Amino acid sequence: MSRKEEKQVDLSLRQFIKDLGGITGGAALLGTMPWLQSFTPDKLKEVAKEKSRIAIIGTGSRGQYHIHNMFSIQHAEIVALCDTYAPNLEAAAALVPTAKKYSDYRKVLELPEVDGVVIATPLNWHAPILLDALSAGKHVFCEKSMAYSMEECKQIYDTYQTSDRVVYFCMQRMFDEKYIKGIQMIQSGLIGDVVGARCYWYRNHDWRRPVPSPELERSINWRLYRESSGGLMTELATHQLEVCNWATKRIPKSVMGMGDIVFWKDGREVYDSVSLVYHYSNGVKINYESVISNKFNGMEDQILGHDGTMNLATGMYYLENENIGKSGIEQLLSQIGDKVFTAVPLAGASWRPETKKEYTPFPILADNFNVSDGISMIGAVNDGSDQMLSAFCQACITGEKGENIVEEAYSSTLLCLLGNQAMDEQRKIDFPEEYKIPYMKF
Ligand SMILES: NC(=O)c1ccc[n+]([C@@H]2O[C@H](COP(=O)([O-])OP(=O)(O)OC[C@H]3O[C@@H](n4cnc5c(N)ncnc54)[C@H](O)[C@@H]3O)[C@@H](O)[C@H]2O)c1
């Protein structure tokens, strides 16, 4: 990254902090989003002269994305890199030539100079590395989803309760300005009672990475195999389910769904098409869908209220009382009555069905903001990942835990894993008692 780019990222981070100050409006925001407590300008000033020393474990695409973001975090430096796959380790070493290099993460955990580790390995490695890191006294920033199985998630959650170490999971929407402000608007009543949620993620891509030799297929394309991945649920849905719970301040009590391999019949084991319904105890439902062989609909996180709709992914909201007019059917009947049409113009351009009423879009943020097209498998610009990583690096210096971050990641990961179970077993699954935690309100 050039010095010029570095400065630009740094400026956007400062801008974010400034904006955050502007939208807090006192204790209300921090009350519902307490993980932002540690991310105030005063705290940043406190750590300005120190540097946390970070090791990156897993230097594939996401690990290298974090390395790039790390360049603009002044209170951090990368001191070690670790990957089991030499080409990815070397690619990262080319970015940070001063860092020590390892292929065994346990060696990294022995380094006294490492304060915290970033774990960006495949899902099945999250829990073993994270738990070993906590035992070794390291702070941890781990990629989502939390872990491969419900048992591992519970083990991480329980260990964290008795640990004095900081643990972050990269649920970056929690640090994305448009999500923060949009959820604040929902919770302050702008869209009225939340009556539903509709989230989807559509792509048209095989989700494959090139493999230089066949024996590397399962390690490079780990996302496609059940031994290492929870498929679309743990890779994509986890972010979106977290947002729904954040908006509703509840956890769904049950889930049902259907999953299939519809198009990419190339030996993969995870579904390429999933449709699920998550059911909250008050009757509100999340309709979730992900398909990776058609991208017409893109990626959206819609929270539906009686008075409006918050589309957090696009940064827009819509009010129900805008454009109040006749419904499609009423328009059609009056047009026929007025003899505008002699016959019913089915599919005609001048008759819009009720479902296609146009709403005026209002932006959540007044200033420019970035919108992810949902296509990148690595990460989007200014999607909150950089801010969250910065907050973690700061916490490695102050020792201040990120409130609710582990709980949010635990809840959404459990919902993803339960969704997979519901699809595999083709039945409705209730949230199991043994995995409930005090944080959860059903
Ligand atoms: N938060 C987000 O938006 C986001 C976006 C993309 C990926 N991710 C997550 O990041 C993680 C990595 O994804 P990716 O796309 O970078 O995968 P990747 O395959 O590109 O990189 C993973 C790296 O981990 C290495 N690795 C595997 N086992 C290891 C071990 N035991 N010790 C050290 N290194 C090991 C692999 O060799 C590889 O280089 C996943 O958990 C994924 O879900 C998150």
At residue 315, the pLDDT reads: 94
Domain 3-174+382-403: CATH class, spelled out = alpha beta
pLDDT band for 325, please (50, 70, 90 cuts): very low
Q: List the one residue out of 58, 235, 230, 234 whose CA is nearest residue 133.
A: 58
- Runs of H (alpha helix) within 249-357: 328-337
Residues 179-203: what's their mean pLDDT? 95
Is pLDDT above 60 for 324? no
Residues of the chain with CATH 3.30.360.10: 191-311+409-435
- Runs of H (alpha helix) within 104-259: 105-109, 126-135, 150-161, 177-187, 217-220, 231-232, 238-248
At residue 13, the pLDDT reads: 45
Q: Model's pTM, two decimal places?
A: 0.90
| Best residue among 143, 169, 201 to mutate for probing ligand 1, ranked by most atoms within 8 Å of CB | 143
Distance 378 CA to ligand 1 centre (A): 10
Tens-place pLDDT, residues 398-440: 999 999 999 999 999 999 999 999 999 999 999 999 999 999 9
Tens-place pLDDT, residues 211-260: 999 999 999 999 999 999 999 999 999 999 999 999 999 999 999 999 99
At residue 15, the pLDDT reads: 57
Distance 25 CA to ligand 1 centre (A): 38
Instruction: Please spell the DSSP secondary structure of 349-387, one letter per residue.
Output: TT---GGG-----EESSSS------S--SS--TTSSHHH
Tens-place pLDDT, residues 70-125: 999 989 999 999 999 999 999 999 999 999 999 999 999 999 999 999 999 999 99
Domain 191-311+409-435: CATH class, spelled out = alpha beta
Distance 339 CA to ligand 1 centre (A): 63
Residues 152-165: what's their mean pLDDT? 98
Is pLDDT above 70 for 5? no
Distance 304 CA to ligand 1 centre (A): 34
Q: Mean of the per-residue pLDDT values for the chain?
A: 88
Closest atom of ligand 1 to CA, residue 235: 43
What is residue 202's three-state secondary structure? Answer: strand
Number of CB atoms found within 10 A of residue 184's CB: 18
Instruction: List the residue whose alpha carbon is closest to atom 11 of ligand 1.
Output: 120
Residues 158-177: what's their mean pLDDT? 96
Distance 58 CA to ligand 1 centre (A): 6
The answer for 96, left when phi > 0, alpha when psi is -120 to 50, beta otherwise, is beta
What is residue 275's three-state secondary structure? Answer: strand
Q: How far is CA 31 from CA 23, 184, 262, 330, in A?
A: 13, 11, 44, 46
Ligand 1 site residues (CB inside 6 A) read: 57-63, 82-85, 88, 105, 120-123, 125, 143-144, 170, 172, 235, 377-379
Residues of the chain with CATH 3.40.50.720: 3-174+382-403
What is residue 76's three-state secondary structure? Answer: strand
